[in-house]
Amino acid sequence: MKEQKNYGKKNGTSNRGDFHQRRSNGIKPQYGRKNAGKAENAVQDKSVHRNNSSSDEQDYIVNENLVSGRNSVTELLKSDRQVDVVYVSSEMLPKEMSYYEALARNKDAIVKRVHPLKLKTICGTDSNQGVAAIGAAVEYCEVEDILQTAHDRGEDPFIVIADGIEDPHNLGAIIRTAECAGVHGVIIPKRKGVNVTGTVVRSSAGATSYMKIARVANIASTVRELKEKNIFCYSADMDGGNCTECDLTGPAALVIGSEGFGVSRLVGELCDATVSLPMVGNVSSLNASVAAGILIYEIVRQRRK
């Protein structure tokens, strides 16, 4: 039987048992977002709103990982290369569409049905034969690989979870900071967020080549699994405790929400605690990647005490 590692144990004891003690040290548990309708968030940039269509077009019009045409897409889906997204024209015949959907499922890739005009915009040409695909810009790993990296280094796991980050520049900047700070891995969702595209790679200044990145189907389920391994999960939210007054040591996963809506409700409720940044100016929000950087280095600072 395969031995199950308990990544949350340090010196033979579990950090999870210290929750009530740590709560008294300034961490506020996240039982639900009291002000879910607020437009402001102390650690999120509210100037960017959900618009998957525009992010697709901006990032994929010129993309060295994009292939179009039936034969090219078929061969990509049959190859060993990982695939992020498959676009099929909404006017494609059902039988042909089912064929590409089946191939995409085998590659664990997302399928998006789009209008022919949008497909033309994404491909930059109307000679796409009704189908296009985006090959992954990096080789994604499993969450277990991230935990194994921490184990191999003899360190408590330190993970950053991007819960719906949509701006590729923000995701790239987060990955760059995470790599510089010694984070063991970054987790992103397969849907409701940007994948690691060429823009993300460039924005990370090459950090994607060194950072383990896992892509999961469900962020909430992943948070549950991490908690079962005694990894303390923190949600970045304006209602949380001041990060400088919270005990952020030990195995940790930091959840950064989307630019427009913050951490999703269910994920926030599942997290052990919320943390926030002290805001004293007139502007009440920070860019997501900036907030992530500050919180990441606050965790690093406390770990080095």
- Domain range enclosing 95: 66-135
What six digits make up the tokens of 249? 């040591």
Domain end: 105, 135, 165, which one? Answer: 135
Q: Are 109 and 73 in contact (CB under 8 A)?
A: no
In this structure, are 192 and 178 located in the same domain? yes
Domain end: 88, 107, 135, which one? Answer: 135
Residue 16: Cβ within 10 Å count: 18
Please write the tens of the pLDDT for every residue from 122-181.
888 888 889 999 888 888 999 999 999 999 999 999 999 999 999 999 999 999 999 999
pLDDT, average across residues 275-301: 90
Please write the tens of the pLDDT for every residue from 244-264.
999 999 999 999 998 888 899
Instruction: Give the global pTM.
Output: 0.74
- Dist. CA 122–CA 115, nearest whole Å: 11
In this structure, are 41 and 128 located in the same domain? no
In this structure, are 190 and 253 located in the same domain? yes
Please write the tens of the pLDDT for every residue from 209-238.
999 999 999 999 999 999 999 999 999 988
**Is residue 31's pLDDT more than 50?**
no
In this structure, are 190 and 288 located in the same domain? yes
Task: Give the per-residue pLDDT at 107.
Answer: 85
Among 251, 257, 177, which residue's Cα sits nearest to residue 14? 251
185, β-bridge pairs? 159
Instruction: Give 4's pLDDT tier (boundaries 50, 70, 90).
Output: low
Q: What is the mean pLDDT of the chain?
A: 82
In this structure, are 97 and 72 located in the same domain? yes
